[in-house]
Amino acid sequence: MITRKRSATGACVLLAALTAGLVPPSAAFADETTATAPKVNLVLDVSGSMRERDIDGGSRMAAAKQAFNEVLDATPEDVQLGIRTLGADYPGDDQKTGCRDTAQLYPVGPLDRTEAKAAVATLAPTGWTPIGPALLKAADDLDGGTGSKRIVLISDGEDTCAPLDPCEVAREIAAKGIGLTIDTLGLVPNTKMRQQLSCIAEATGGTYTSVEHTDELTDKVNQLVDRAADPVVTPVATEGADRCAEAPALESGLYTDRAEFGQQRWYRVDVLPGRELRASVSVAADRDVNPGYGVLLRAVTAQGREIVRGEAAGNGRTDVISTGLRYPKRAADDDADEPAAEAVCLQVTHSFSAASGVQTTPGLPLELTVDVVDGPGEADDVASFGLGRGWWLLAVLVLTGFVAGLLCGWLSRWRLAVWRTN
């Protein structure tokens, strides 16, 4: 009897210890890691129109499946990923039923690649396009945790479940303040779909991209999943000036602004000797724009002399265009008392033009990254002949080839002389 009581007492003590939190540190660390893990929910349109065969000779559904399989293989280990479908189950004509057709294909959590791929393989184009209801459910799928949260919506058509407007749904999600970003990708887009998906993305600070090829879809979804794993940085709102002399002074960081059509935006960065300025800019088309555009980023001295530039061009198949530049400031002489900083002005210009009937204000969203770091040392400077540090290796290879050629020629002559003698 006493033995039984002691056993029961021991079990109670053990249970109390466990419930009191006396658990191994590794378990507590795992719980903390899970709570802060980034979450991504891939929302795929499986409506009947996904049967169309206009992406690289195959169906839109086949392109989506291939892209998903490659993305699942490349998903970082620390990202919790889920998959939700819309229009995958109900093939009928009743709109009320069709607009409830959204389901969680794979729950958001640690990724089992084999299980997720098997679930994707079962999908077949079926029904309606309830984008709004799917976004509401997808946001609920991401509930909990303190890590970043991202929805990636892939669709080939606009929502068919009005009056529940997907743009209003996205604004409602953004108003909750849960830090959830929605990125949208349009397969073989038309104007109406483009406007709707752009509106959804803009409401939550996400991006919209037009996709017409399987490899583009794979690359973009991979990029967005990887972005979820990056540390969250809140950009600082700034307002560029119309000229260099009035430009705001920026330090290393991430900044946002708006650039009007045909407008130049100026910013200033002070660069000390021995430091290097690295800057990049992205301009997003958050409304319908004409195809053929570009973005230019210039580093200019206070006197107006161009130091270096970066530029990129778009052809209408992407809606975010980026470029960057680097400017190393050589170290001052040792005799200098107080090395003075150089004021470098950054000029941002884009050549987007608004399509007919599209509002031109406010300007397009602009994101500017500024980083001032230690510059390259003497060993990293560009060396003779413009070949950098690899010039000596090239010289050795040339010399070796020359000596080898001489030896081969001498041996050939010697063998010929011996043959003639014999």
Q: Which of 229, 255, 282 is the last residue of a domain?
A: 229
* Structure confidence by residue, pLDDT tens digits, 307-355: 999 998 876 655 678 889 989 888 766 555 666 889 999 999 999 888 8
Residue 406 included in any domain: no
Burial of 386 by CB count in 10 Å (0-12 exposed, 13-18 middle, 19+ buried)? Answer: exposed
pLDDT of residue 163: 80
Per-residue pLDDT band at 12 (split at 50, 70, 90): very low
Report the 3 state secondary structure along 207-246: CEEEECCHHHHHHHHHHHHHHHHCCCCCCEECCCECCHHH
pLDDT value for 146: 82
Instruction: Determine whether 180 is exposed, middle or buried from the number of CB atoms within 10 Å of its CB (0-12, 13-18, 19+).
Output: buried
Judge if 186 and 69 occupy the same domain.
Answer: yes
Nearest to 286 by CA among 358, 178, 232: 358
> Over 90: is that where the pLDDT of 66 sits?
yes
Residue 25 belongs to some domain of the structure = no
The predicted model scores a pTM of 0.56
Residues 45 and 51: their CA atoms lie apart, in Å, by 11
pLDDT at 383 over 70: no
- Asked whether residue 62 falls in the same domain as residue 174, the answer is yes
Domain stops at, among 229, 251, 271: 229
Both 145 and 273 in one domain: the answer is no
- Longest alpha-carbon distance in the chain: 114
**Separation of alpha carbons 202 and 148, rounded Å:** 18
Over range 90-116, report the average pLDDT. 94
Statement to judge: residues 264 and 151 lie in one domain: no
- Is residue 91 situated within a structural domain? yes
What's 379's DSSP letter?
Answer: G
Find out whether 325 and 310 touch, Cβ atoms under 8 Å: yes
Does residue 251 sit in the same domain as residue 318? yes
- How many domains does the chain contain in total? 2
Does the residue 75 lie in any domain? yes
What residue numbers bound the domain in which 322 lies? 236-375
C-beta neighbour count of 17 within 10 angstroms: 11
**Rg for the chain, CA atoms, rounded:** 30
pLDDT tier at 382, thresholds 50, 70, 90: very low
In a domain, 270, yes or no: yes
Same domain, 55 and 105: yes
CA–CA separation, 261 and 130 (whole Å): 35
8 Å CB contact between 315 and 292? yes
Beta bridge partners of 343: 270
Provide the token pair at 124: 């077949």
- Mind spelling out the 3-state secondary structure of 105-116? EEEEECCCHHHH
CATH of residue 191: 3.40.50.410
Same domain, 263 and 212: no
**Is residue 230 pLDDT above 80, yes or no?**
no
Do 74 and 221 belong to one domain?
yes
CATH code of the domain in which 263 resides? 2.60.120.380
Question: Which pairing describes strands 264-271 and 253-259: parallel, antiparallel, or unpaired?
Answer: unpaired
- Beta pairing class for 275-284 and 320-328: antiparallel
Asked, for residue 19, whether it belongs to a domain, the answer is no
The count of C-alpha atoms lying within 13 angstroms of the C-alpha of 150, restricted to the half-sphere facing its C-beta, is 24
Contacts of 379 (CB under 8 A, 6+ apart): 389
Would you say how long the chain is, in residues? 422
Judge whether residue 179 has pLDDT over 80: no
> In this structure, are 117 and 199 located in the same domain?
yes
Residues 135 and 280 in one domain: no
Q: Amino acid letter at 268?
A: R
Stretch (H or E) spanning 199? helix 191-203
Establish if 49 belongs to a structural domain.
yes
Residue 148's alpha-carbon distances to 5, 177, 191, 256, in angstroms, are 50, 12, 31, 20
**How confident is the prediction for the chain on average, in pLDDT?**
83
Given pLDDT bands bounded at 50, 70 and 90, which one contains residue 188? confident
Lowest mean pLDDT among 141-145, 308-312, 348-352, 373-377: 373-377
Give bridge partners of residue 301 from the DSSP assignment. 344
Residues 293 and 151 both lie in one domain: no
Boundary (domain end) residue, out of 375, 390, 405: 375
Whether 244 is covered by a domain: the verdict is yes
Q: Are residues 348 and 256 in the same domain?
A: yes
